[in-house]
Structure 1
Amino acid sequence: MAQQLGFDLPVRVALGRDDFLVAPSNAVALSMVDAWRSWPNGKLALTGPSGAGKTHLAHVWAADSGARIVAADTLNTTSPDALFDAPLAVEDVDRIARNSACQTALFHIHNALQTAGHPLLMTGENAPNLWRLSLPDLQSRVDAAGHAALDAPDDSLLAAVLAKLFADRQLTPRPDVIPYLVTHMERSFAAARTVVAAIDARSLAQKKPITRALAVACLDNPR
């Protein structure tokens, strides 16, 4: 398929279950999310580096459980009562370590969900005991949750993630682009997102197809 040039197309991120790329680095976490009805104390902490798939898995779980998804740093502006009557996923809990208002809100939400028998999924980058929440009662409840960790990608998963990121942007790189990137880029999900965005921008600006030469230029000079 010829590469379409000159159109700044919207990024349509696919977050369905069939779009989740299963690999040894995430298979255990996926199985734990799937087993949500038997989570210890009805809650799970899902952790992993930026871009590892935490948000994607949260959406997979929400579709299965009927859960709402909220960002932890919005809890101080959200009516807690609106979050008590269904399963809930709270993303990036580690980012509210110094936000006492959001921590207090999450503490009350946690207790209400547990009383009502609704499960709670929490996400963050590091292991839960490293979130260092300033509200001790909340940290102790987080520590009592089950823990599922998403690990760094191997070659096959990194290649699949790159292919998905290009597809989300409706882009078709030449066949030798992704193998080159896997071999030469920083091995992280966040770096994959950054390099695909950079390649997209350069391809659009220069009105050139996505070739290995363009990928080389982006890695050598990402600006």
Structure 2
Amino acid sequence: MTTRPSPPDQMRLPLQRDLPEGAEGFVVSDCNGAAHEALADWPNLIGGVMAVCGPAGSGKSRLAQIWTERVGAVALHGAEAALIDPLELEGRPVLLDDAMEADDETLFHLINLAQSPGGALLLVAREPPSAWEAALPDLRSRLDAAVSVPVEAPDDAVLAAMLEARFAERGIRPAKDVIPYLLRRIDRSAAAAAAIVARLDAMHRPVTRALARAVLEGGEESGELFG
């Protein structure tokens, strides 16, 4: 994609088109600091089960991905985890994203395997395990015992980084007041950041505050944009 020329009053973003996928591209702030700190050394000292919980678009899956890459964990997702023979995972750290979608039996086996030497299980979900439904009594007690750390909706620092990353992916350098303007007006999620950047990109114009306002107010649909 051709990079748009930047007017003199536009800033050069610190994030470039080739964005890092690892920890160096992750912004730690108040909204995710507790979870980031909890995972920093785990499971080096102890194994067992930990859950990272938070709303959609909060970055919890990205944080779990960083952990997975650091420890070499096996990454599983939701109900698909039932397709894996749990015995093949013995002695290995495991990530289970969208963990509430896994069936009781699969969860029970994965939690038990996390207690073996070298084992660990990181669960990612919107709600903490203590709030999940469980028909198996033994699973219920294990879910209640799982350590849970929260990730909150993105604050300004994290949401700004999400917007910068999405702009950089598309080779867009917005005017310096665009991101502060958007921070006050879009939903606080990764999906919302991606959606507004995609809408601005579709206008094929320099990304200014005036354009951002017009797009947010629906001007792109009513033909009110700059002639």
Separation in structure 2 between the aligned mates of residue 134 and residue 155 of structure 1, nearest angstrom: 40
Taking the TM superposition and a 5 Å limit, the aligned residue runs for 1:34-183 are: 34-37=40-43, 42-96=48-102, 102-183=103-184
Post-superposition offset of 1:14? 4.0
Instruction: Give yes or no for contact 1:172–1:210 (8 Å, CA) kept in 2.
Output: yes
Displacement of 1:123 in angstroms is: 0.4
Q: Give a deviation string over 1:175-222, Cα, whole Å, max 9, x none.
A: 22111101222234442233223333x23xxx3232323322332239
Contact 2:90 2:116 in 1 (8 A): no
Tell me the residue number matched to 1:216: 213
Percentage of pairs with the same residue:
36
- Structure 2: stretches of 5+ with no match in the other structure: 6-16, 222-227
Superposed CA offset, 1:154-188 (max 9, x none): 22332222112322444322222111101222234
Superposition deviation, residue 17 in structure 1: 0.7
- Aligned residue pair count: 208
User: TM-score normalized by structure 1?
Assistant: 0.80
Structure 2 CA distance for partners of 1:69 and 1:171, relative to 1, 3 Å = farther
Distance 1:15 1:132, change over 3 A: farther
CA contact (8 A) 2:47 2:114 kept: no
Query: What is aligned with 1:192?
Result: 193
More helix by share: 1
CA distance in 2, matches of 1:173, 1:133: 48
* Structure 1 residues 170 and 80: alpha-carbon distance in aligned structure 2, compared to 1, 3 A threshold: farther
Give 1:40 deviation, angstroms: 6.8
Q: 1:208 to 1:34 in 2, by over 3 A?
A: same
| 2:110 and 2:121 in contact (8 A); partners too | no
Q: CA deviation at 1:36?
A: 0.7
- In 1: Cα distance, 2:163 partner to 2:137 partner: 40
Distance 1:93 1:152 in 2: 19
Task: Provide Cα deviations, 1:127-149, integer angstroms capped at 9, x if missing partner.
Answer: 22222244443333222111110
Q: Give SS of 1:88's match.
A: strand
Structure 1 or 2, whichever has the larger Rg, is 2
Instruction: Please give the TM-score of this superposition, normalised by the length of structure 2.
Output: 0.78
